[in-house]
Structure 1
Amino acid sequence: MIERAFPRQLHPYWPTLQKRTRAWLLEKRLMSADKVAEYADGLCYTDLMAGYYIGAADEVLQAIADYSAWFFVWDDRHDRDIVHGRPAAWRRLKDQLHTALDSPDDHLGHSDPLVAGFSDSVQRLYSFLTDRWNLRFAGHFHEVIEAYDREFHNRTGGVVPGVEEYLQLRRLTFAHWIWTDLLEPSAGCELPAEVRENPAFHRAALLSQEFAAWYNDLCSLPKEIAGNEVHNLGISLITHEGLTLEEAIADMRRRIENCISEFMAAESEALRFADSLDDGTVGGKELSGAVQSCLGNMRNWFSSVYWFHHESGRYMVDSWDDRSTPPYVNNEAAGDT
């Protein structure tokens, strides 16, 4: 369905993006030189963003790609803190990220590379639009940090959330509204609330992110079963709905396919809404164009997510020496008990 209905695109800046994000990971000490050399390109982090935010200015896409690469490294640290039983280290990092989010300028030289790298990427993202957008972005990411904390406690306690509870939490751990917020600097326009809250626009945005989160769960299910995970839609279906592994996979595929169909219906309605914003004024024409850009990139998210999961070494668990330990992580990352 994806290959047929959602043609793949790639931002022309991508080759430079890949090179500069690789250098940024080294500069900020987020990955060791040997890990960057062996794995960074094959993880395809820059491919994912370059296939999504089409039309973004080069410096905007670079800031987003660096932030996205940071996000994956943070996700890996979170995982290793759980695996190695480091609750104090996780609590400290969580609190530091909350603080850095509100004042990134004050944490650029932080001793923890994750905090310093986060501050650098967020400071750059804050430079593109208004303080109002910055506050919205910060509010959304504060919620993401707290959702990661809930996942930490679920995983350390062996708690598998129920299906509906999991789906609500997944919207935060996948950072639905962060990636949606970043459509705006990519379009060069901060959208007013009445546009963002338009039912068709909001639904299209939600469905594009739901597809990505659920497809991620489908593709990462073998990795997460191997790692005794508890946070995956398939695992919730097996645990709470009594499904077999095969039945859970079929249920996930059905949800994903329905999500694609529902997006295309919402997209059509949202495009009509975008057209209606062009009232003959310069401002109306610019706003209409920005909304069309955002909707076009929601559509690009489907193909970008799809190809990322089939090309990134992050999901090639069968090629790992240890199916529960990704080879691209520092398995003894900074932390304590």
Structure 2
Amino acid sequence: MPPDKVAAYADSLCYTDLVAGYYIGAPDELLAAIADLSSWFFGWDDRHDRDAVHGRTAQWRRLCQGLHATLEHPRQQLTHPDPLVAGFADCVLRLYSHLGPRWNARFARHFHPVIDAYDHEFGNRRTGTVPAVEAYVELRRLTFAHWVWIDLLEPTARCELPDAVRKHPAYRAAALATQDFSAWYNDLCSLPKELAGDEVHNLGISLMQHEGLSLQETVTEVHRRVSDCVGDFLAVEPELLLLADEMAADGAYGRRIGAALQSCVFNMRNWFSSVYWFHHESGRYRVESWDDRSLPPYVSDAGAPEFPSTDLAETDPSGGEE
């Protein structure tokens, strides 16, 4: 943002406040890195919107290429001419310093499909394609980066969870519930802005387009789905806490994993209140105060600086949680 925009809007956007409520217990340097990643994510989302609106396809493709490269070699991208690539490299490098190569590889494996999903959305924006409801739900789980935010619970707990815990059905169900809640509540609060901006990616817009719901029926249905997510989490939370207690009774290693699991479940729960608070405090969703309801007043239409294209090997990462 230009300095005048920073002074007028940055604090009221509450981007860094958002993560403070659901990574409780994180070391300060990790919390700062996650907060910066969250701020970066909103900036990337706004670039995606503006590049799609203005048809800046070549710039968008170069950005995606740079982000994919950053996940594998973040240090090499710290001086990249596009500040979104350089900023992402800074965040990734700091995040990679906490749990080691295995966790780092998983983080990259989960973020590659997020970039690809944003690219898929770019194509939909250019063609005016509104995804069907179930297709949108699956796409949204990628563009919201569900598994990336769940991965970050582990360095917050200062412990990498074993596969037997991460892949436990109750853990996956709790994680999905908290992230679907967050994504769909975001859709609900973004709906006025995205309808005004001819956006095609919103649960409400998919429901209106493909199921013929009115605006009021759509709001009611999204509310129902959001509420169901809370119930889904509460249904599996006791099982996870019992699992943590059982692990804690099995020696020093078990106590460490049990405590980490308790931390992860505690912060999953915190997503609900933190996301709710953020959407009612952040200036990002106060469209009634904007001159143009489709465009936040702090977003610039400027594109990225020009830089040479780089040929990178094609990647086809799996979108599934591993």
Q: If the TM-score is normalised by the length of the shorter chain, which range does it land in?
A: over 0.9
2:138 to 168, 173, 194: 168
Aligned-partner residue type, residue 229 of structure 2: C
Which ranges of structure 1 fall in alignment gaps of 5 or more residues? 1-30
Q: Distance in 2 between matches of 1:196 and 1:190?
A: 9
Report the 3-state secondary structure (helix = DSSP H, G, I; strand = E; otherwise coil) of the residue aligned with 1:156.
helix
In structure 2, the residue matched to 1:74 is: 44
Residue deviations 1:205-250 (CA, integer Å, cap 9, x gap): 1100000001000110000000000000000000100111111111
Aligned-partner residue type, residue 89 of structure 2: S
Paired positions, count:
306
Q: Distance in 2 between matches of 1:118 and 1:175?
A: 14
The offset of 1:39, in angstroms, is: 1.0
* Kept after mapping to 1: 8 A contact 2:157/2:263: yes
In structure 2, the residue matched to 1:108 is: 78
In structure 2, the residue matched to 1:308 is: 278
In structure 1, the residue matched to 2:9 is: 39
Report the 3-state secondary structure (helix = DSSP H, G, I; strand = E; otherwise coil) of the residue aligned with 2:248.
coil
Q: Distance in 1 between matches of 2:162 and 2:135?
A: 30
Matched, 1:227 2:197: yes
- Runs (4+) off by over 3 Å: none
In structure 1, the residue matched to 2:289 is: 319
* Kept after mapping to 2: 8 A contact 1:208/1:301: yes
The offset of 1:266, in angstroms, is: 1.2
Aligned-partner residue type, residue 192 of structure 2: P
Matched, 1:55 2:25: yes
Matched, 1:86 2:56: yes
Aligned-partner residue type, residue 13 of structure 2: L
Residue deviations 1:111-167 (CA, integer Å, cap 9, x gap): 111111110110000000010100000011100000000000011100000000000
276-285 vs 180-189, greater mean Cα deviation: 276-285
What is the root-mean-square deviation in Å for CA atoms of aligned residues?
A: 1.0
The offset of 1:310, in angstroms, is: 0.4
Aligned-partner residue type, residue 67 of structure 2: L
Q: Distance in 1 between matches of 2:134 and 2:176?
A: 16
* Kept after mapping to 2: 8 A contact 1:188/1:290: yes
Q: Distance in 1 between matches of 2:247 and 2:169?
A: 15
Q: Distance in 2 between matches of 1:280 and 1:222?
A: 52
Aligned-partner residue type, residue 116 of structure 1: A
The offset of 1:280, in angstroms, is: 3.7
Q: TM-score, normalised by structure 1?
A: 0.89
* Kept after mapping to 1: 8 A contact 2:248/2:257: yes
142-151 vs 255-264, greater mean Cα deviation: 255-264
1:243 to 166, 189, 213: 213
Which ranges of structure 2 fall in alignment gaps of 5 or more residues? 307-322
In structure 2, the residue matched to 1:9 is: none
Residue deviations 1:153-194 (CA, integer Å, cap 9, x gap): 011100000000000000000000010000001110011111
Matched, 1:288 2:258: yes
Residue deviations 1:276-307 (CA, integer Å, cap 9, x gap): 11134111111100000000000000000000
- What fraction of aligned residue pairs are identical, expressed as a percent? 64
274-283 vs 318-327, greater mean Cα deviation: 274-283
Q: Distance in 1 between matches of 2:184 and 2:135?
A: 14
Q: Distance in 2 between matches of 1:332 and 1:96?
A: 19
Q: TM-score, normalised by structure 2?
A: 0.93
Aligned-partner residue type, residue 304 of structure 2: A
* Kept after mapping to 1: 8 A contact 2:82/2:305: no
Q: Distance in 1 between matches of 2:67 and 2:217?
A: 39
1:205 to 163, 175, 187: 175
Q: Distance in 1 between matches of 2:100 and 2:180?
A: 28
Aligned-partner residue type, residue 222 of structure 2: M
* Kept after mapping to 2: 8 A contact 1:52/1:297: yes
* Kept after mapping to 2: 8 A contact 1:42/1:313: yes
Q: Distance in 2 between matches of 1:292 and 1:179?
A: 17
* Kept after mapping to 2: 8 A contact 1:129/1:189: yes
* Kept after mapping to 1: 8 A contact 2:237/2:265: yes
The offset of 1:267, in angstroms, is: 1.0
The offset of 1:335, in angstroms, is: 6.0
